Amino acid sequence: MSLLEIKNAKLKLDDKDILKGLSLSVNSGEVHAIMGPNGSGKSTLSYMLAGRDGYELESGEVFLEGQSLSDMEADERARSGLFLAFQYPVELPGVGGMSFLREAVNSRRKFLGEEELDHLAFVKEARKVASKMFVKDEMLKRAVNVGFSGGEKKRFEILQMAMLKPKVSILDETDSGLDVDALKIVSDGVNAQRNDENAIVVITHYQRLLDYIVPDFVHILSDGIIIKSGGPELALEVEKNGYAGLINAA
């Protein structure tokens, strides 16, 4: 089944065309990788999907599990199972990680008609997931992303993903800023969540990540459209030859 369907998406920012008719179809159980030069519109695509203010489509449409997203606010989309791991996670001074996560998880559970977790049950669950991701309990007590190192921030994003159990996850350059060991831990964390019911879209500049999180499809995004799609071998080609050849051919 198609979990995420993007049809001919066009979007302007400040009167500048950024997405120029982008289409993509992601089925359950699949992992897609999106690669593309700086400024090609990858983060814009992720913000558009997540429903950020100012990133409304000019034309085209997006469906999550067959439901059109056009009338859904960012928080409704999130509760419906759309997750975005931010390229630049945002600091929330004074907001404890544990209470933040708990509100997030309970919002999602409420949406799913599941019982909300009380404090104790939640802490137990969070600790379990955290230990799998080698995230120290201490980090959950700190204010969200405040003073976290670049790598810690990314790890915390994936921890949230694991807690929220989304249908569709978009990981925007989750690998950037990670050391070798962290890259493996984070990838393991993502892989552990792969199943037949969900789908993952990873945005990355580096083929290396795709050795760990092996995609079913690789797409090349250039200047607001997907110029080429293929299997994992496409990423190797990019690694070797850069984007120029692909862009010229398109």
Ligand X SMILES: Nc1ncnc2c1ncn2[C@@H]1O[C@H](COP(=O)(O)OP(=O)(O)OP(=O)(O)O)[C@@H](O)[C@H]1O
| Residue 55: CB minimum distance to Mg ion, A | 13
- Stretch 42-81: interaction string toward other proteins, x if CB under 8 A: --------xxxx-------------------xxx--xx--
Which of 61/103 has CB closer to other proteins? 103
| Residue 192: CB minimum distance to Mg ion, A | 25
Which residue is listed with tokens 């982008």?
Answer: 22
State yes or no: residue 92 binds other proteins (CB under 8 A): yes
Of 42-50, 102-110, 149-157, 192-200, which part binds Mg ion (CB under 5 A)?
42-50
Residues 106-165 that bind other proteins (CB under 8 A): 107-108, 111, 143, 160, 164
State yes or no: residue 43 binds Mg ion (CB under 5 A): yes
| Residue 195: CB minimum distance to other proteins, A | 20
Which residue is listed with tokens 């250039």?
Answer: 222
Which of 9/133 has CB closer to Mg ion? 9
| Residue 222: CB minimum distance to other proteins, A | 26
| Residue 235: CB minimum distance to ligand X, A | 15
- Exposure letters 43-82 (e unless 16+ CB within 10 A, then b): bbbbbbbbbeeebebeebebbbeeeebeebebeebbbbbb
State yes or no: residue 204 binds Mg ion (CB under 5 A): no
Residues 76-135 that bind Mg ion (CB under 5 A): 87
Which of 84/185 has CB closer to other proteins? 84
Q: Could you list the residues that contact Mg ion (CB under 5 A)?
A: 42-43, 87
